[in-house]
Structure 1
Amino acid sequence: MSRIAIPAVTNATGATADVYARVRKIAGGSVPNLFAALGHLAPATLNAALDAEGALASSSLSKQDLETIKLLVSEQTGCDYCVAAHAMLGKLTGLSPETLRQIRAGQATGDTRRDALIHFVLLLQTTRGTISESEVTAIRAAGYTDTQLAEISLTIAMTIFTNTFNRINDTDVDFPPVK
């Protein structure tokens, strides 16, 4: 059970009700537990997160790239909520169960571009300091633009934000379990 008690979503008023309505439009009528908690505690923060996610949705990264990054970062962070969410969302973008497993393990998938992205994100997650010029050259050589490097950075940052909050809250997972 989540550590932070959240009143029923249907009882929300004011800014919280407004942000829940926004989430329902995005999430097909539901309010996932992560968004219910954030909307209750900090509706402005949830609105900012939704704005950032909107920017990512219209970015030049593919939906599969976005879900690759989000799943990999969530796995590295140890957020069971986001691993379940992004495994499901990754599947919806067309990533196979085997590819999702390989992403979670930080392994090669056989897709050169995706594998370069996995390597780059893992490098950012597991090292400190400035990334070497050769690593930046390698991700560019895989076909990622400088604009996409900025979008990769935002994707990582937003994923770490939700991972961190879920780890604090121990948010109840309301997505299919990951095997």
Structure 2
Amino acid sequence: MSRLPQIDSAQAPPKQAELFAAVEKKLGRVPNLVRVIGNSTAALRGYLEFSAALGGGAGLDPQQREVLAITVAQANGCGYCLAAHCTIAKSTGLSAEAISGARTGSTQDDVHRALIQFTNAVIERRGRVDDSELAAFRAAGFSDEAVVEVVAHVSINVFTNYLNNLAETEIDFPAVPELPAAEPAAACSTSQCVSA
């Protein structure tokens, strides 16, 4: 059970109700994360506007955005965001292997590997990446626009990860298994990472 109220759309104050209606129109439902953020109209509006702006960015494609989101959620231990982004990743056409790679950091795809490594460097060093890490990211074909978008996506994903971890938001997406600490690569078979 969530430690913060999951605001019911039907009982939401007018400002939240308007924002919930926009989410429902786009997604067909109001996910529990949005209902938790709805405890603050300012946070909800900011989250939705920032998400929409980043979704229209040209630095990262939809699959790359999901690889990044899964990487951040895994790093922050956010079960809600892992479940949500593994589901969304599957809908973008990402393979189970790519989704597993985003979780474990082990992938055969050079572009995804560069994105995962750069994302982890941004997280671990709070943006203070080495020149060599920035050069490696650029060498993989990423632009300066992508560099900025990685930091922006890390920021919004840290917000949702931390809020979900604090609130213990009820997961309303297909759950994904935790990775055992001893053998992360073996723990995430293709069927487990993208449960239907």
CA offsets 1:8-46 (integer angstroms, 9 cap, x no match): 32122311111101211221x20000101111x112211
Specify the code of the residue in structure 1 equivalent to 2:144: D
* Cα distance, 1:176–1:163 mapped onto 2, change above 3 Å: same
Specify the code of the residue in structure 1 equivalent to 2:37: L
**Residue 123 of structure 1: which of 121, 124, 149 is its match?**
121
* Cα distance, 1:147–1:102 mapped onto 2, change above 3 Å: same
* Cα distance, 1:6–1:129 mapped onto 2, change above 3 Å: closer
Where 1:56 maps in the other structure, the secondary structure is: helix
Contact 1:68 1:90 in 2 (8 A): yes
* Cα distance, 1:124–1:13 mapped onto 2, change above 3 Å: same
Tell me, yes or no, if structure 1 residue 46 matches structure 2 residue 58: no
Contact 2:105 2:117 in 1 (8 A): yes
Measure how far apart 1:178 and its partner are. Answer: 1.1
CA offsets 1:72-118 (integer angstroms, 9 cap, x no match): 000100000000000000111111112211210111x2111111101
Specify the code of the residue in structure 2 equivalent to 1:92: S
Specify the alignment match of 1:135 in structure 2.
133
Contact 1:2 1:171 in 2 (8 A): yes
CA distance in 1, matches of 2:121, 2:89: 21
Where 1:110 maps in the other structure, the secondary structure is: coil
Specify the code of the residue in structure 1 equivalent to 2:119: V
Contact 1:70 1:155 in 2 (8 A): yes
Contact 1:106 1:122 in 2 (8 A): no
CA offsets 1:45-76 (integer angstroms, 9 cap, x no match): 11111111111111111001100000100010
Contact 1:79 1:166 in 2 (8 A): yes
CA distance in 1, matches of 2:154, 2:6: 27
Specify the alignment match of 1:85 in structure 2.
84
Shift >4 Å, 4+ stretches: none
Specify the alignment match of 1:18 in structure 2.
18
TM-score for the superposition, normalised by structure 2? 0.86
* Unmatched 5+ stretches in structure 1: none
* Unmatched 5+ stretches in structure 2: 178-196
Task: Give the aligned length.
Answer: 176
Specify the alignment match of 2:94 in structure 1.
95
Measure how far apart 1:129 and its partner are. Answer: 6.5
CA distance in 1, matches of 2:6, 2:126: 37
